[in-house]
Amino acid sequence: METIFTPLWLSLKIATTATIIAFVLGILLSWWFAYNKNKLTNFLSIIVTIPLVIPPTVLGYYLLLLLGRSSPLGQLVVSITGQPIVFTWKAAVIAASIAALPLLIRPIQASFESINKETIQAAELDGASKVQLLVHIIMPLAYKGILAGIVLGFARAMGEFGATLMVAGNIPGRTQTLSIAIYDAVQADRMMDAHIMVVILSLATIIFLYLIHKWFK
């Protein structure tokens, strides 16, 4: 069972961290996209959506080029930390964050755009700053869209496979998430292990989503 619960714990750790990162970026980008309509934000909105439409392995390949040892960014990370970021759980977090980001942004941005503009204008007239508007007016009014984004983002991060495999590899105990462990078990004809891990992954995701729903209800 240890070989099953280790990938589960790693998956939860990566998915939770990735969802937090994607949530912070998603809130800021949704806010920017919703209230600053111009060519730049339209272009960036398209760029952010790309992980939804390209194969996960392609996303992983791009990340490998960006973060690999031979890339400028990869070399900078090595010079600062003394070790590469690829083939670590941190690389898996980056892959999961980018994969989850568009699924967070879409419902959050839609909720932001649905808020009555007169409400925002009234708060501005009362002297509210942009940060106060976001934290005290926009986010509370858009909580359902934010909740939907969190749920979708976590589910995507929890099930991430292709990009994670490309940029983080399949190292048991270090980067082997539950999705990758299921793939390994099937390839090795360990069907009972695969069945158990599929059930655990499904139950863990359902329980998390239920708790989030109850928390924000």
Residue-wise pLDDT for 114-168, tens only, equals 988 888 888 888 788 888 888 888 999 998 899 889 888 988 998 888 899 899 9
- pLDDT computed for residue 217 by the predictor: 61
CA dist list (Å): 117 to 82, 121, 130, 141 = 50, 6, 14, 12
pLDDT bracket for residue 190 (50, 70, 90): confident
**Could you read off the pLDDT of 8-50 as tens digits, one per residue?**
889 989 999 999 999 999 999 999 999 888 899 999 999 999 9
- CATH of residue 137: 1.10.3720.10
- The DSSP annotation for 130-175 comes to HHHIIIIIIHHHTHHHHHHHHHHHHHHHHT--HHHHHHH---TTTT
Q: Per the structure, how many domains does the chain have? A: 1
N residues, the chain: 217
The rounded percent of the chain whose pLDDT value lies above 90 is: 34
Give the range of the structural domain holding residue 17, as residue numbers without chain letter: 2-216
* pLDDT tens digits for range 176-186: 888 898 988 89
Considering Cα of 183, then 184, then 190, then 193, what sign does the dihedral take? Answer: negative
Q: Give Cα 210 to chain centroid, integer Å.
A: 18
Widest CA span of the chain, in angstroms? Answer: 66
Q: Model pTM? A: 0.88
